[in-house]
A and B are shown apart, each in its own frame.
Chain A
Amino acid sequence: MINSLLTSIQKVITLSPTEIDTVTSLFKGKIYKKGDFFLEEGRICKQIGFVARGLMRFYINQDGEEKIYDFSQENEFVCNYESFLPQIPSSKNIQALEESIVYVISHADLQLFYANVRGGERFGRVAIESVFLKLLQDISSLYSETPELRYERFLKNHADLQQRLSQYHIASFVGVKPQSLSRIRKRIFTQF
């Protein structure tokens, strides 16, 4: 299972056998049952996770409603960086939608990773660059896309998630009520 984490890191940097041992000892395997929280609002995000198996949703409570703004699935990292990096309480929730196997690293151990793995800083820079890029794309999508376009983008980027998510979760991510989502779906699928 930890092999998928090592493979993911080795796509960016080379790891020596000693460094593979270091990574393996710094990341700890954890199981989250369906409904368990990786992070709850009001708490400090103390770890970054790598999803080896499973699915998590990111959501915010807004005006008494849960708004989903992201998902993390296999081979993706999971973290609320604006809580983790400055170590301040989170305003967001991260919750397992399926039983998930996640390799987590603490804030302190991540500093050891940067110090003891030769390409550690490079991996960190590349990883944070892609998080930042995704954030910018999400902001731009929020402003400039209609719900139809957001739904089409969801289908394109998360094709495999369609079967794993409820319509309620997809609607929340697209930013519409479930009834509106079925209207959008009807419009899109009758076009073909």
Chain B
Amino acid sequence: MHYFSIMSENEICSWLTKQLRLYIPVTDEDAVNIAALFRCRKVGKGEFLLKEGQYGDWWGFVYQGLLRSYSHDAEHAEYTNAFFKEESFTCELVSFSGAAVSQTNVVALEDSLILCLDKKNLDSLFRNHPDFERFGRLLYEKILVSYKQRNLFRVRLNARERYLHFLKNEPELIKRVPLKYIASYLSVTDTSLSRIRRKMQQSVR
């Protein structure tokens, strides 16, 4: 694992304080102590933040950049789980406790900076800052709801509706993510997605 001290401690601290205060009250002093436990990881475009078979025993917050999480199905075909852009939270819970290795890959689609908190430090925060438990709970709740809604869309919406939903909710990602990965995320083939997009453009004209 490479750690770079690219960002100043002040930058890290003020950015993290902002993230924490979205959920819990934090004094400036606590914020400094909490931020000191994070490490900044730089992952260049095409490099991996996490690979299948490794243990992802950390929490990550994307400070800058864009990453894609993907796994393989029974036929070894790739499917995209999620995209992580600025301010996204990423955590590979399956391998978090050390019980099993990760089945997931997280690769950078753009040069990225991720602020990582190792499980050891996370546990000490949970022990020493009761409010941090609340932060963890609210963070997990938010992500749980978004994962569940996405599963539901896959069942309830057709390919075109899924694309429209993505377009509406992630207008920025449409510009930054290669179409083949959007297709994989929406569980449609590249050709179907192109057809859907072509038809939509025609109907606009």
Q: Which residues of A contact B (CB under 8 A)?
A: 60, 62, 81-82, 85-86, 91, 114, 121-122, 124-125, 128-129, 131-133, 135-137, 139-140, 143-146
What's the Cα separation between A124 and B93 when bound, in Å? 16
B133, A129: Cβ atoms under 8 Å?
A: no
Instruction: Tell me which residues across on chain A come within 8 A of B143, comparing CB atoms.
Output: 132
Mask, B130-153, CB within 8 Å of A = 1, is: 110110110011011101110110
Report the minimum CB–CB distance from B53 to chain A (whole Å): 14
Instruction: Tell me which residues across on chain B come within 8 A of A137, comparing CB atoms.
Output: 94
CB closest residue in chain B, given A127: B137
A125-B140 in contact given A143-B71, A143-B74, A144-B71 (Cβ < 8 Å)? yes
Other A-B contacts than A125-B126, A129-B140, A144-B103, 12 sampled, CB-CB below 8 A, are: A60-B155, A81-B141, A85-B141, A121-B130, A122-B126, A125-B133, A125-B136, A139-B81, A143-B74, A144-B71, A144-B73, A146-B74
A122-B93 in contact given A129-B140, A132-B143 (Cβ < 8 Å)? no
Instruction: Tell me which residues across on chain A come within 8 A of B71, comparing CB atoms.
Output: 140, 143-144
B168 within 8 A of A: no
B166 within 8 A of A: no
B133, A81: Cβ atoms under 8 Å?
A: no
Mask, B172-186, CB within 8 Å of A = 1, is: 000000000000000
Report the minimum CB–CB distance from B59 to chain A (whole Å): 11
A139-B151 in contact given A121-B130, A129-B93, A144-B71 (Cβ < 8 Å)? yes
Instruction: Tell me which residues across on chain B come within 8 A of A81, comparing CB atoms.
Output: 141, 144-145, 148
Could you list 22 examples of A-B contacts with CB < 8 Å? A82-B148, A82-B152, A121-B130, A121-B133, A121-B134, A121-B137, A122-B130, A124-B134, A128-B137, A128-B140, A129-B93, A132-B144, A133-B93, A133-B96, A136-B147, A137-B94, A139-B151, A140-B94, A144-B72, A144-B74, A144-B103, A145-B74
Instruction: Tell me which residues across on chain A come within 8 A of B137, comparing CB atoms.
Output: 121, 124-125, 128
B140, A135: Cβ atoms under 8 Å?
A: no
B156 within 8 A of A: yes
Chain B binding surface, main DSSP class: helix
A128-B141 in contact given A121-B133, A139-B147, A143-B79 (Cβ < 8 Å)? yes
B94, A128: Cβ atoms under 8 Å?
A: no
B156, A91: Cβ atoms under 8 Å?
A: yes
Report the minimum CB–CB distance from A42 to chain B (whole Å): 13
What's the Cα separation between A124 and B152 when bound, in Å? 24
What's the Cα separation between A81 and B144 when bound, in Å? 8
Report the minimum CB–CB distance from B128 to chain A (whole Å): 12
Report the minimum CB–CB distance from A44 to chain B (whole Å): 14
Instruction: Tell me which residues across on chain B come within 8 A of A122, comparing CB atoms.
Output: 126, 130, 133
CB closest residue in chain B, given A142: B151
